[in-house]
Amino acid sequence: MSLDKNKVVVGMSGGVDSSVTAYILKKQGYDVIGVTMQVWPDMNGDEQESSGGCCGLSAVDDARRVADRLEIPFYVMNFKDIFEKKVIQYFIDEYKRGRTPNPCIACNRFIKFDELLRRAHQLGAYYVATGHYAKIIYDPETQQYRIKKSNTAGKDQTYALYHFTQEQLAHTLMPLGDFESKDEVRKIAAEMGFINAYKPDSQEICFVKDDDYGSFIEANEPEVVLPGDFVDTTGKKLGTHRGIVHYTIGQRKGLEIALGKRSYVVEIRPESNQVVLGDNEDVFGAELIAEDVNFIHLSYTNEPISVQAQIRYNARASEAILYPMENKTMKVVFKNPQRAITPGQAVVFYQGDLLLGGGTISSKVR
């Protein structure tokens, strides 16, 4: 099937960012098709209505109203099965392994820029577009695409985009990266009369009610949530925990154990069903191993690479050196110790405002 370079499928979540993305691209002359991805699992109507983000029925209604306002075609496509497999089950499995996953990164990787792109091509569209705050540029000298941080520093979303391939970037548009603030985006939406112009940003994982990850996993796979031992860093038993899925590295609140001092989760051991507690200094580390590493425009090399590395979405990138290992694995050594290096989370690599790539933290090096 031949693809039309003037046709773009916009993933419309019902939020203001994707709505303004659709408006901008239509204004630029693109033939825009709006698509909302139906990803929510089976639930009753009230639960769907109350679900946040792109999972609720209200999100579909908001996206449809914006599409009507823009006079563009709009479709709701069923992505439930692949979302269940690639995002929800992955989320559960990672917690069972004693890790803390980032399902939004998995959604970007497997749903928005893989499956949605495939379906866009089936519609004859050359591009997909989203409301991410990031900039995609083409370097004619190297003939490669690159991703740069958004002009809106407080909204930059490049941390969740490190899995991109060159092929995907060639077919992706992100027009919001050049905006200086979210207020500019909301102003455009208000001027266009969009119903979602001042809709609050979603802060929670869309399929987890009340941000209660442990209860979500207990409800789906109760047999894996078993009580176990709290131990200290020497292995001494301190008490009993509710199940490792309820804890994450660096956690202090909600431990429900009195030790006469502030204690923090410093390690989770799924093989022995133990949660290790320690002092604040035990939470810090200067080295980690990253697996499943992807570079967007660099080739793998055996030489160390100086970068700024970021270990969670809201963290500040810090000076580090990458030491290549086998099988898409990297050792990351920070100039200064980092708090709560958490297996399952992403570590993402930058040079200035340029996103190099990233990987999944598999362990903290002791």
Residues placed in the known binding site: 11-18, 37, 131
List CB contacts of 77: < 8 A, sequence separation 6 or more. Answer: 35, 36, 37, 38, 116, 119
Cβ atoms 332, 91 nearer than 8 A: no
Q: Are strands 125-129 and 4-11 parallel, antiparallel or unpaired?
A: parallel
Q: Are strands 31-38 and 4-11 parallel, antiparallel or unpaired?
A: parallel
CA 263 to centroid of chain Cα atoms: 29
Please tell me which residue in 54, 55, 104, 206 is annotated as part of the active site.
206
Distance CA 215, CA 246 (A): 8
- Residue list, annotated binding site for ATP: 11-18, 37, 131
Distance CA 177, CA 155 (A): 9
| 129 three-state secondary structure | strand
Please tell me which residue in 54, 55, 104, 107 is annotated as part of the active site.
107
Distance CA 16, CA 62 (A): 9
**In degrees, to the nearest 5, what angle opens at C-alpha 286 toward C-alphas 281 and 287?**
130
Q: Are strands 4-11 and 144-149 parallel, antiparallel or unpaired?
A: unpaired
Give catalytic status of residue 54 as yes or no.
Answer: no
Give catalytic status of residue 206 as yes or no.
Answer: yes
| Catalytic center residues | 107, 206
